[in-house]
A = this chain, B = another copy of it.
Amino acid sequence: MSTEVSPLAPKSFPKLPLVRGVALATAEAGIRYKGRTDVLLASFAPGTAVAGVFTRSRCPSAPVEWCRERIDGGRIRALVVNSGNANAFTGANGRAATRLTAELTAKALGCSEDEIFLCSTGVIGEPLDASKFAGVMDRLAAGVTEDAWEAAARAIMTTDTFPKLATRTAKIGDVKVTINGIAKGAGMIAPDMATMLSFIATDAAIDPDALHELLARAAAKSFNCVTVDGDTSTSDTLLAFATGEAGNRAIRGADDPEAAGFAAALEELAVELAQLVARDGEGARKFVTVEVAGAESDASARKVALSIANSPLVKTAIAGEDANWGRVVMAVGKAGEPADRDLLTIRFGELRVAHKGERDPHYSEAEASAYMKNEAIDIRVDLGLGEGFARVWTCDLTEGYIAINADYRS
């Protein structure tokens, strides 16, 4: 597994402020990794609202099922996350492991199991030995602190090379509220919900249903617009928590005018986290933004954008700094969406490389090649058919991806 930090990592990590009502602790439970933290406990003030968006995989993990069964309750007291083992495709053993983990946590915190949410990430199909949590749960529960966001982001990493953190503030009425978010994910990343795991906490007072709607809207513009390899995880989980400790008048509907600033800040934060996932794509050396305009609809634009962003040939060309825009033509052509070759325009950054069904008359291989040396590559396609637009983020495909994934379990 790679030990080098992605060249696309931010130069520094934000120091996240406190979110009143949220306390965190991490520990080494020895699930799979040695010499690093691999379990996170987040505890929440009583009455904290919770909302979630989950993988659409037909083979979801046991913790995904556990969360789905409890999300409609709308309240959370604790979240437990482990890395190293996904507890996916683990049958009755997997269900027993989630129950045992919830029991241990509920006992340590003195709350109901149905207000415990669980996430696991790592190898699929290995039985998870939840008894390993028993040795650390009391210490975790006693050790939670409001000021452990970076430690939390580190404890949930698998093949990630850096922790992913973001923060925003917004006003609800006259009250300033804080939103913190962390995420993990570097491979098995495709937008059929989200990155593998992301957790967003705010001290705002928001009802669970409104929180869910705001979260789903933000996910559609952020996590659902990122892909590393087109492989959708069995464990994708995005959870949001609203402790209400900021003291604002509670938001009861997503379209409440007072929620507008919060909604915008939440989307910004989610986009930042989603982009960090693409920047830590396994083996990534280039951060790629794909914009498709002029489609018949936004949904159609998104399919074309993902066809480009998931194409191994487009991604290897970017890795090789080769201005092979012909492969973008190929990816548009194979997407199965309305497209007319002879209306197609392709830009690399500001350089128009193809126009109306052929290479741009002013195309310069030298200019295009120089552009490909950039660390951030923008591919912009105009289909020339309508008003549909989409923007997605991905990374290049390098030997590093192969090396990481050819021996992941060993």
Contacts and interface: CB of A to CB of B under 8 A. Distances in A.
Given A342-B91, A397-B402, A57 B320 contact: no
A94 B329 CA distance: 15
Interface string A328-368: 01111111111111101000000000101111000000000
User: In the complex this chain forms, how many copies of it are found?
Assistant: 2
Contact of A125 (B229, B230, B316, B329): B329
Interface in A292-320: 310-313, 316-317, 319-320
A326 B232 contact: no
A313 B227 CA distance: 13
A401 interface: yes
Interface string A188-221: 1010100000000000000000000000000000
A177 to B, nearest CB: 36
Given A91-B358, A231-B313, A405 B320 contact: yes
Interface string A381-410: 000000000000000011101110111111
B334 A125 contact: no
B57 A330 contact: yes
A317 B408 contact: yes
B59 A339 contact: yes
A150 to B, nearest CB: 29
Nearest to A356: B91
A88 B326 CA distance: 8
A37 interface: no
Nearest to A55: B333
A324 interface: yes
A357 to B, nearest CB: 5
A101 B59 CA distance: 53
B125 A325 contact: yes
B399 A326 contact: no
A124 to B, nearest CB: 3
Given A312-B401, A329-B59, A402-B319, A358 B124 contact: no
A327 interface: yes
Contacts of A7: none
Contacts of A224: none
Interface string A277-302: 00000000000000000000000000
Interface string A366-377: 000000000000
A234 interface: yes
